[in-house]
């Protein structure tokens, strides 16, 4: 009986080690671009299905969706820093502005004072996200009950 348990334990360790080695040595070079894109979409969907929220910090700038940011649904949080408005703008592939939000300067008496804001956005391939202050972009997983 001890030998059987020892053999089973050894097999379990071997299979576990093989799984770790597989993940560390994952080689995608034999796949076509289309297959890699399909796998990425499947992986992103799995992250959503598992309610795994991933976030990225973005510096002020312009980000092309499909090149620098994957297409998808996100929650974006922008913080006012400095002496200007913090803007979030989205332009479609043709350059038309389709979203505009701002976190306002505390000294602007004409505007509601907001130091931070969060918006739910959907980015499509070819869109351009432009932000003027640091922001956090979080993969939107829908409503999370805790």
Strand residues in the chain grouped as ranges (E): 55-58, 61-64, 72-79, 86-91, 97-103, 116-123, 128-131, 135-139
Short-list 128, 134, 140, CA closest to 78: 134
C-beta separation of 93 from 127 below 8 A: yes
Question: Over 50: is that where the pLDDT of 6 sits?
Answer: no
pTM strictly above 0.75:
no
- pLDDT digit string, tens, across residues 56-110: 899 999 999 988 888 888 889 887 766 566 788 999 999 999 988 876 555 545 4
Q: What is the DSSP code (8-state) at residue 9?
A: H
> Span 2-139: which CATH code?
2.60.120.340
SS3 at position 4: helix
Dist CA 44 CA 11 (whole Å):
32
> Distances from the Cα of 41 to the Cαs of 50, 59, 126, in angstroms?
14, 25, 17
Dist CA 105 CA 95 (whole Å):
27
């Amino acid at each position: 009986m001890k030998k059987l348990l020892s053999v089973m334990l050894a097999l379990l360790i071997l299979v576990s080690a093989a799984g770790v080695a597989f993940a560390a040595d994952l080689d995608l070079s034999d796949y076509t671009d289309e297959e890699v894109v399909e796998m990425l979409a499947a992986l992103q969907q799995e992250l959503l299905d598992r309610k795994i929220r991933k976030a990225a910090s973005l510096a002020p700038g312009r980000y092309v969706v499909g090149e620098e940011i994957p297409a998808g649904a996100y929650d974006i949080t922008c913080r006012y820093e400095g002496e200007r408005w913090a803007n979030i703008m989205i332009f479609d592939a043709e350059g038309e502005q389709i979203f505009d939000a701002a976190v306002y300067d505390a000294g602007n008496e004409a505007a509601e004072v907001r130091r931070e804001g969060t918006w739910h956005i959907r980015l499509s391939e070819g869109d351009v996200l432009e932000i003027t202050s640091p922001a956090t972009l979080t993969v939107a997983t829908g409503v999370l009950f805790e």
